[in-house]
Structure 1
């Protein structure tokens, strides 16, 4: 199935380490691509589509950590695709900056569909389907 026509956010190829906590299972894997709405995580897991997790992504110990909640939307032989379902605003802003830096294009995120993002009163961010 071609997933590219369903994508609403630009993806940036990157090699970042990510920690995933599914409750009973925890993983430390590598992110191969990243967007404002989610990521593809390389590595073996026992997870299934629909499983939810907590996500921590940090480029280096001196940088801020991106904290989010996510849901598995696709499982492949070499990894899984995760969609962000919740992210604090400070993590979202750091993610925007990280993506612009990794892409080397300051205009990359300018045309992203912010109508798909809802900012809530409690300074949380929800990314809708």
Structure 2
């Protein structure tokens, strides 16, 4: 299954909560692994990873996140597109992911948010808008 809706594909940049998110990630393109990087922050619409890359804006990519817990480890694969670059790293907009990946990322954003209730309300507003448009 894949996630659909404006919250993932067309986030309202002015209202998307961005939270600290320090994880090691692997970025690859269709052609090759581009390298291992450190994620700096996360929103429901994308992720910013630290470090220089040769990936041009608009390039499709796959992000591999490893989450290691006490009892299990999970690998999440998220598809994205390079949205912007600067001297510190690249911002990647999410374009596709499995439902369980979205649930994990949503939980990370809510958990790290300064105001999780407002963040959840914003998510629900966007969710309702996207579902209403597909009915």
In the alignment, structure 1 segments of 5+ residues that lack a partner are 121-129
Equivalent residue number for residue 97 of structure 1? 107
Report how far residue 64 of structure 1 moved: 3.1
1:52 maps to 2:60 = yes
Superposition TM-score, scaled by structure 1 size: 0.75
Matches within 5 A, 1:36-115: 36-60=44-68, 62-103=72-113, 105-107=115-117, 108-112=119-123, 113-114=126-127, 115=129
> What's the C-alpha RMSD, in Å, of the aligned pairs?
2.3
Report how far residue 116 of structure 1 moved: 5.3
Please list the CA deviations of residues 62-103 of structure 1 after superposition, one character each: whole Å capped at 9, or x if unmatched: 343332110001011110000000011111011111222233
Please list the CA deviations of residues 38-73 of structure 1 after superposition, one character each: whole Å capped at 9, or x if unmatched: 011100111110001111112325343332110001
Report how far residue 8 of structure 1 moved: 4.4
Q: Based on CA coordinates, which of the two structures has the bigger radius of gyration?
A: 2
- Given that 2:16 and 2:43 are in contact with CA atoms closer than 8 Å, whether structure 1 keeps it comes out as yes
1:29 maps to 2:7 = no
In the alignment, structure 2 segments of 5+ residues that lack a partner are 1-11
User: Which secondary structure state, in structure 2, belongs to the residue aligned with residue 18 of structure 1?
Assistant: strand
Superposition TM-score, scaled by structure 2 size: 0.72
- Given that 2:23 and 2:65 are in contact with CA atoms closer than 8 Å, whether structure 1 keeps it comes out as yes
Greater fraction of residues in helix: 2
Q: Which has the higher contact order (CA 8 A, sep 6+)?
A: 2
